Structure 1
């Protein structure tokens, strides 16, 4: 699993003033990564995420697999699963034997898994270049992003984009409290056949599960 260690770099990056910037160099890298991802019919990837407090202590770690096809996706981490057919989202929690059902939010401000790899940055963020780094020994560009909406719960988003493959390898979300969530992409397989049925929740496979419809 590839992992990005930014360490004390955040102390220096935090001093960068955006001043409503959209750095053209950063945009070119983001656009290239977006175009590369959009060229795939399907994507299957392993991932890991870690929650850290403001002092950098890891509070929780999880890993899983994500499948994406168009605006559809499913995510598995442990026994927890999330399904979306692009219109509806089912969130299955085995500990409570419950699945909650919501409408998929397609607003510009919502970051879906697909948007994280494509053009979510186009309207809602300012962005500048950070210092280059390495992930798993590979050179990456760091893009520092700041939401235009100051009411967001997070203040910064750091994307690591592989210079050679033009793919997103890591995303670090920094909350206003200083807590961080780090998502790291591991292996990635593209254009493998994925049946549409795997992006919806099949209640017959989960007997005894309570369905909580919040739509």
Structure 2
């Protein structure tokens, strides 16, 4: 369970082909990523998530649904039997674990290195300030690799892949070689969403941990 909690606060994606174009300059790559992200104000859909250790052994597998709205608002729900929920209104993040009857509350990390808000930011300035960015192209796929400039991050690298201009999958790699792969499907882009989804009402009897 704790593996999935850790993975949820990091986020990831994988591409299944070899890409061969020389990396663009970091600033240009950050701007291009920003331009792709800024085309989408809302995203809703399903995801599948797979966590592997450094040897490739499967640690955990899960599916769920998500709703995202720029900037920094999201609801990320993992289906039972590993049910968990990660919610943000852009300022506060709630991480709810029904099995533990516990919710952790913390402020949004404005550097974007600890939260899924990375997917929601259209700011090239924030991306280039916090990450070294490379971009590769192959056919209809554009693949971005981001490496945090700060040392106190939950991942060593984050890869975002877009197919025909739409986010398709992601992969996170941490310092010990653990990989979290996330594939997105059944996506709906730029459709109105209920903003009530981006706040969290703590259920009765649940322990609240403030961070």
Would you identify which runs of 4 or more consecutive aligned residues in structure 1 move more than 4 Å?
Answer: 3-7
User: Unaligned 5+ residue runs, structure 2?
Assistant: 1-12
Query: Are 2:184 and 1:185 equivalent residues in the alignment?
Result: yes
Report the TM-score, using the length of structure 2 for normalisation. Answer: 0.74
C-alpha separation between the residues in 2 aligned to 1:200 and 1:153? 24
SS of structure 1 residue aligned to 2:104: strand
Give the C-alpha shift of residue 30 in structure 1: 1.1
What do you get for the CA RMSD once the two structures are aligned? 3.0
Q: After TM superposition, list the pairs within 5 Å mapping 1:116-131 onto structure 2.
A: 116-118=119-121, 119=123, 121-130=127-136
Distance 1:127 1:53, change over 3 A: same
Q: After TM superposition, list the pairs within 5 Å mapping 1:78-157 onto structure 2.
A: 78=79, 79-105=83-109, 107-118=110-121, 119=123, 121-130=127-136, 132=138, 139-157=140-158
* Corresponding residue number in structure 2 for 1:136: none
Q: After TM superposition, list the pairs within 5 Å mapping 1:32-43 onto structure 2.
A: 32-37=35-40, 40=41, 42-43=42-43
Q: After TM superposition, list the pairs within 5 Å mapping 1:61-76 onto structure 2.
A: 61-70=61-70, 71-76=72-77
Give the C-alpha shift of residue 141 in structure 1: 1.7
- Residue 90 of structure 1 contacts residue 99 of structure 1 at CA under 8 Å; is this kept in 2? yes
SS of structure 1 residue aligned to 2:39: helix
Give the C-alpha shift of residue 61 in structure 1: 1.0
C-alpha separation between the residues in 2 aligned to 1:29 and 1:35? 10
Report the TM-score, using the length of structure 1 for normalisation. Answer: 0.73
